[in-house]
Amino acid sequence: MCKHTVIELSVRNHPGVMSHICGLFARRAYNVEGIACMPVNGGGTSKIWLLVDADRRLDQMIKQVDKLQDVLDVERYDGGHEVFTKMSEFVQ
């Protein structure tokens, strides 16, 4: 089994953002295992967390995500992220 990692994105909040981000992964057949999204700053921006495989294409994926016009910031949590620990309780 592949090790997972979490990417945390700050993005401009509008209806097309998700499609841009998910499209990037889908086109490269790069599976997104988990996804969470919440508005911040009164809805002007959002935070998105992606739970993804930590395979050797990850660096390139992060660069591609960072290149998207709507992505303001990218952080990587190789040790996982609480968001998904909590979410996993719902699918136990």
Partner 1 sequence: MKMTGAEIIINLLERQGIETIAGIPGGANLPLYDALGRSGIRHILTRHEQGAGFIAQGIARVSGRPAVFFATSGPGATNTLTAIADAKLDSIPIICITGQVPLSMIGTDAFQEVDTYGLSVPITKYNFLVRSAEDLLDIIPAAFRIAASGRPGPVVIDVPKDVQTAEVEFDEWPELGVREPGTELIPNQVKRAAAMINRAEKPILYLGGGVIQSGSADFARELAEKGGIPAAMTLMGLGIMPSGHPLNIGMLGMHAARYTNMALEECDLLVAVGVRFDDRATGKVPEFCPKAKIVHMDIDPSELDKIKTANASVTGDVADSLRALLPLVEEKARTEWKAGIQALREAHPMIVPEADDPASPYGVILKAAELAGRDAVVCTDVGQHQMRTAQVYPFSAPRSWLTSGGLGTMGFGMPAALGASLAAPDRPVLCFTGDGSIMMNIQDLATAMEYDIPIKIILTNNNALGLVRQQQDLFYGKRYTASEYSRSVDFLKIAEGFGIKTHDLGTSDDPARTLAEALAEPGPSLIHVPVGVEEAVYPMVPPGAANSEMIGGEKHV
Q: What is the binding site for partner 1 (CB under 8 A)?
A: 15-16, 19-20, 23, 27, 59-60, 63-64, 66-67, 69
| Rounded least distance, CB 68 to partner 1, Å | 8
Rounded Cα distance between 92 and 87, Å, is: 9
Which is closer to partner 1, CB of 16 or CB of 80?
Answer: 16
- How crowded is residue 7: how many other Cβ atoms within 10 Å of its Cβ? 21
Six-digit token pair at 71? Answer: 């992505």
| Rounded least distance, CB 5 to partner 1, Å | 18
Which is closer to partner 1, CB of 14 or CB of 86?
Answer: 14
| Rounded least distance, CB 87 to partner 1, Å | 27
Which is closer to partner 1, CB of 53 or CB of 70?
Answer: 70
Nearest to 13 by CA among 55, 60, 45: 45
Which is closer to partner 1, CB of 22 or CB of 37?
Answer: 22
Residues in the chain: 92
Rounded Cα distance between 18 and 70, Å, is: 10
